[in-house]
Structure 1
């Protein structure tokens, strides 16, 4: 086994692309994504404002919007220009203050303030929708209070009339609504899974590119595969440990559990990734097709985690696809450890969700035998009866 591990390490050293995948490319990806989300919460998002009333109250509402750190108002004279700015992604939302807004409020009518946002930007749209409504509500509440006081309603009663129900929203595991806490861990996980797939697929494809399958089979298929797993699993786990260190030690994100469970969960996830890649490799036997198929399979990992979109609302085909994604099984453990500090008994129960990947082992054995026999036949030799 030592000679086989040495063989794999020598091949790694002489493959610049593979060496980059296990060294500096993950670092560039990790720190690049951290830099993108380092602000924590979006600020000064452009919002189109169309003030058709040009009254004192409409200007006050615009000032209320401008006072919100999330919103950066951009004035438009024409509503069609404002719509065009949204379509061109120059602005993410649109607020139309209607004509005779001030008069309708003073006469007891209910004017309609048109608020639109681009829901294609899921998180940005949701954030702007809530912040715009909060800012406008604060401004209109002040106007309503003055109106009641002018009608002779006592201050205490007027405040009760305006605040019949008070609500307080407290985020249990993300008190500051920090996007780093919310988005960065699953995005880094999706990136790490994709890199792990590329690393292992490249190691297997090298045997095809260099035409060393015959050497592989003569050394023993299982022993060569174990050598690859023993070389690349610690390297990928080290990358995962670096991600955890960056998030929960350097950045100080809240961590209720321990690193141990997360690292064990990452190892189990990697073994599932290896099984999927091996199945695709022995099935397709073409470097370009193996990489293309694996990339298509693993690329949608982030939306399938259920962090930004409830997976139970996805079509049935998408839910089946999600089950094939090892990261979708890992994220339950990650959330449980990070947010709830779950115990090892719950972790052991979650690991059983990977049981379906064990079905791939006999499939891999059968495919490997078929490839071995085909390779021996092309070489003019006799196929061996030894199990791969």
Structure 2
């Protein structure tokens, strides 16, 4: 135990003497927590700029524009003279959509003809484009309902019957997870935790890789009498404790400071957080073991940690991926941590349903270090990477 404590004291001293380690372990985690909590603090995007081309210029068309302006998701900021100029605003990124009200809109509407309002929006920006489309459909649906009900009223139909005639079937929606439709609750939960595990991965690779880059591996083995376990324990333990503290701050920023909903078990989430740290440290040691250089280890580790976002289900649901990619997603610790975090925070599932994720995180902590153990032992016996770059 004494050699491990000696190495642990050395790592704590190096933390404040190594600028790179200090940035990875201290500066960037808190910067990312502050950045993402600030970036999505509103929860839902509001007042997205759009353009309206009013070719009719009547009381009815002005009413349509007023109702579009009243929609909280969008804001009518431009009134181009024609549709081509409106499309140019979309291409330049000044607006997220252009809505065109055709000529004779009011006259055709009053004569009983079916009229159309053109909506063009940028679908490359999924969130902004989706919100613009949603707001447009809601406004046009409201206006259409008003016109239809008014026609029925003129024919002597009661208001209640007119409503039934227009929409005989009502949709009764119940949102089971994130009923607040707050993007921050879902996206921040993933993004903050994802960047957190990247910093765990890079810090672990750095503290081992730096010693091997500068030929200090065999020196550490001599301190511990060729005991690799003592080296790993001494170097990893201080950062495990530190990142556990940072992780608690991360969770506090979401569930206390930002007041995200939390309906599950705090102990389960805390356990998963610890296992996420340990699993990423285990993978980091494996990447150090199989790499030929410090740079290669950092490249592989950062790539693995960053790609985990794509396999977590944040950007695309896992069940919609090809089977091979669904299986591949299971090797990423973040996939299981993120699913558990959602289950225990927003969904409020019983702990029993999160046991599978905890078991897999334990497995992903044990397997990588086991696979790389003998290569890591040989690497430290040699004392240096194969290539000094």
TM-score, length-normalised on structure 2? 0.89
Distance in 2 between residues matched to 1:303 and 1:146, nearest whole Å: 50
Alignment partner of 1:14 is 2:17? yes
CA deviation vs aligned residue, 1:284-337 (integer Å, no higher than 9, x gap): 132222222222222133343213421222345644553332111111211111
Judging changes above 3 Å, is the alpha-carbon distance between structure 1 residues 374 and 25 closer, same or farther for their aligned structure 2 residues? closer
Helix, strand or coil for the counterpart of 1:307?
coil
Find the aligned partners of 1:373 and 1:233 in 2 and give their Cα distance.
Answer: 25
Q: Deviations over 1:120-178 (max 9, x none)?
A: 22222222211211112112222222222233433332222223222343434434322
Unpaired segments of 5 or more residues in structure 1? 379-388
Q: 2:120 aligns with which of 111, 116, 119?
A: 116
- Residues 141-150 or 165-174, more deviating: 165-174
Which of 272, 283, 286 is equivalent to 1:265? 272
- In 2, Cα distance between equivalents of 1:150 and 1:293: 71
Supply the distance in 1 between the matched residues of 2:349 and 2:130 (Cα, whole angstroms). Answer: 30
Query: Distance in 2 between the 1:376 and 1:100 partners?
Result: 79
- Secondary structure, counterpart of 2:311 in structure 1: helix
Q: Name stretches of at least 5 consecutive residues in structure 2 with no aligned partner.
A: none
Residue in structure 2 matched with residue 386 of structure 1 by the alignment: none
Match of 1:194 among 178, 198, 206: 198
- Residue 211 of structure 2 is aligned to residue 211 of structure 1: no
Alignment RMSD = 2.4
Give 1:45 shift: 0.3
1:292-371 aligned at under 5 Å gives the runs: 292-315=299-322, 318-354=325-361, 355=363, 358-371=366-379
* In the alignment, structure 1 residue 71 sits paired with structure 2 residue 74: yes
Identify which of 175, 178, 188 aligns with 1:174: 178
- Return 190-199 or 99-108, whichever deviates more: 99-108
SS in 1 for 2:52: strand
Q: Displacement, 1:50? A: 2.0
Residue matched to 1:247:
254
1:127 aligned residue: 131
**CA shift at 1:32, angstroms?**
1.7
Among candidates 44, 48, 53, match of residue 45 of structure 1: 48
Over 3 Å counting, the alpha-carbon distance change for 1:109 and 1:299 in structure 2 is same
Distance 1:20 1:201 in 2: 14
1:281 equivalent in structure 2: 288
1:162 aligns with 2:166: yes
How far does residue 240 in structure 1 lie from its aligned partner after superposition?
A: 0.9
CA gap of 1:53–1:304, structure 2 versus 1, over 3 A, is: farther
Query: Is the Cα contact below 8 Å between 1:60 and 1:139 reproduced in 2?
Result: no
Deviates more, 1:182-191 or 1:350-359: 350-359
Q: Tell which deviates more after alignment, 223-232 or 359-368.
A: 359-368
TM-aligned CA deviation for residue 109 of structure 1: 3.0
Q: What does the per-residue CA deviation read over 1:319-367, in whole Å, with 9 as the maximum and x for residues that have no partner?
A: 4553332111111211111123333433322222333564323320232
Higher RCO (C-alpha 8 Å, min separation 6)? 2
